[in-house]
Amino acid sequence: MSRVGSLRGRLLRRLALLFALILLLSGLSAYWSARHAADTAYDRTLLASARTVAGGLYARGRLLEAHVPYVALDTFDYDSAGRIYYQVLGPEGEVISGYDDLPAPPAEARRTDDYPALARFYDAQYRGQGVRVVSFLQPVSEAQFRGIAEIRVAETQGARERMARDLLVGTLWRLVLLVLVALVLVWLAVSMALRPLETLRREVARRASDDLRPLPDTDLTREVLPLVEALNQFNERLRGLFVRQSQFIADAAHELRTPLAALKARVELGLRSERPEDWRETLEQTAQHSDRLTLLANQLLSLARIENGTRAISEGGAQRLDLSLLARELGMALAPLAHARGVALALEAEQPVWVDGDPMLLNELLSNLLDNALAHTPKSGNLVLRVMAPAILEVEDDGPGIPQDECERVFERFYQGPAQVGGAGLGLAIVGDICRAHRAAISLHQVSPHGLRVRVEFPVV
């Protein structure tokens, strides 16, 4: 089983990824907000410079002249990252003062609504640099001159970019600090929330391997309580399994001890005798006891195989099987034995009947049902093995049957009722366990005038 890391680590990694995405989006938003703030601040300064230049316009006769004091461009002196250029144009577009090659405003540049002035702001390239330009229209009205002058003031983008960068870095530092603090708080909160699980882990680690007492369920959160309840239910089932195994071992030891003691006593009795006839009788009885012990050992092995088969079925190892074909093959294998006992064995299985199950266990089920029926069917009696749709198996004999008050107990291990003919009382117990493994229902029905019908109904798939 591959390890997936701690829940705390996975949560922190996913939150860190989410915070990183939020940080990226916040950084982009902060940059555009900072750039907008820088453009707003510097646009206001550009317009102020243009107005200062416009304040130095005067007419000399019919000519417009400009007196541009240094203070008009001094607003940017504190920032060495940028340079400023200006240009004054007359009513006819002639250059009156300043740089004569400043770029003109594009046709799509609209008058700004942010300031009460006839001004347009636009970006352009000038002398290989990106610049921000304001075009300001200033009416001039004197005695001999009337017209509108245009003042253009341009500034390189370095100062704006540095201001935006400073604002962005300051914002990102605060966001990064906030994310780190949030991750630390989340780590502390998750650690506190997982404390009941750590307490539960220590409680389980302290216990001995055979300590299956219920885990304490007090002071647990609603999320952890279902886990503890499920563990307690599992422990209860495990305890029941251990009890059944202990009981089974005790019963098996008892059932083995009895025939072994009888076998030993019979052998010792035969050894005391000097007559060959007694030796032969001893050997014959020893063979009978050996057969019983062999049958008991095989049934005990069958019970062990049932446990493995049940686990395989629960883990998805069931196969698609034709129950009619299994019954036909086993019926043909047992036909000589039935004939030797004088029992007529009939098979009724004309069409395929499909079930999901373990072939070994289903063969074991059929074998035990037929062996049990053969043991109780008298000579010249009839035995019918029947497979019907949708998924029903029946074994019917005309033996003495089973009393109604014993129909439930015959599926208990090592139970031997008045109708028991030899054996160790494991045949029908094995059948019951196999039915439970396949989620099949088994029932016993009396047949008139005498006999027994065992019906097994499998789930329809």
Instruction: Give the pLDDT confidence of 3-30 residue by residue, as tens digits.
Output: 556 777 777 788 888 888 888 888 788 7
Percent of the chain with pLDDT over 70: 82
Indicate the pLDDT class of residue 74, thresholds 50, 70 and 90. low
74-83, 86-95, 424-433: range with lowest mean pLDDT: 74-83
The candidate with the shortest Cα–Cα distance to 286, out of 274, 268, 273, is 268
97-101, 138-142, 206-210: range with lowest mean pLDDT: 206-210
Contact 117, 51 (CB under 8 A): yes
Instruction: Tell me the per-residue pLDDT of 280-314, one tens digit each, with 9 for 90 and over.
Output: 777 777 777 777 777 667 766 766 666 666 666 66
Instruction: Tell me the per-residue pLDDT of 183-241, one tens digit each, with 9 for 90 and over.
Output: 888 888 877 777 777 777 787 788 777 777 877 777 677 777 788 888 888 888 888 77
> Which one has a higher pLDDT value, 52 or 266?
52
Q: Which residues contact 221 (CB under 8 A, 6 or more apart)?
A: 193, 196
Give the pLDDT confidence score for residue 76 in this predicted structure: 46
Measure Cα distances from 322 to 52, 296, 332, 356, 430 in Å: 103, 30, 16, 9, 21
Percent of the chain with pLDDT over 90: 2
Cα 220-224-228 angle, rounded to 5 deg:
90
Instruction: Tell me the per-residue pLDDT of 247-275, one tens digit each, with 9 for 90 and over.
Output: 666 666 666 676 777 777 777 777 777 77
Indicate the pLDDT class of residue 122, thresholds 50, 70 and 90. very high
**Amino acid present at 271:** L
Distance CA 49, CA 43 (A): 10
Mean pLDDT estimate for the chain: 79
Give the pLDDT confidence score for residue 373 in this predicted structure: 85
Distance CA 408, CA 421 (A): 18
Measure Cα distances from 222 to 189, 213, 230, 422 in Å: 16, 21, 13, 56
* pLDDT for residue 40 is more than 50: yes
Contact 296, 426 (CB under 8 A): yes
Contact 365, 348 (CB under 8 A): no
Distance CA 447, CA 449 (A): 6
> Which one has a higher pLDDT value, 207 or 441?
441
**Amino acid present at 75:** T
- On the question of a cis peptide bond just before residue 103, with omega within 30 degrees of 0, the verdict is no
HSE-up of residue 334 (Cα within 13 Å, Cβ side): 26
Mean pLDDT value across residues 161-189: 81
* pLDDT for residue 77 is more than 80: no
Distance CA 371, CA 348 (A): 18
Give the pLDDT confidence score for residue 135 in this predicted structure: 92
Instruction: Tell me the per-residue pLDDT of 365-410, one tens digit each, with 9 for 90 and over.
Output: 888 888 888 888 888 888 888 888 888 888 888 887 777 767 676 7
DSSP 454: E
Q: Which tokens is 103 given?
A: 């770029």
* pLDDT for residue 91 is more than 60: yes
Mean pLDDT value across residues 70-88: 64
Domain layout of the chain by residue ranges: 7-167, 319-457
Cα 261-285-412 angle, rounded to 5 deg:
60
Please state which CATH class domain 7-167 belongs to. alpha beta
* pLDDT for residue 107 is more than 70: yes
Domain 319-457 has CATH 3.30.210.10: no
Give the pLDDT confidence score for residue 70 in this predicted structure: 64
Contacts for 164-169: CB closer than 8 Å, 24+ residues apart: 164/31, 164/34, 164/35, 164/37, 164/38, 165/34, 166/34, 167/30, 167/33, 167/34, 167/37, 167/38, 168/27, 168/30, 168/31, 168/34
Q: Which residues contact 430 (CB under 8 A, 6 or more apart)?
A: 299, 302, 303, 306, 364, 365, 368
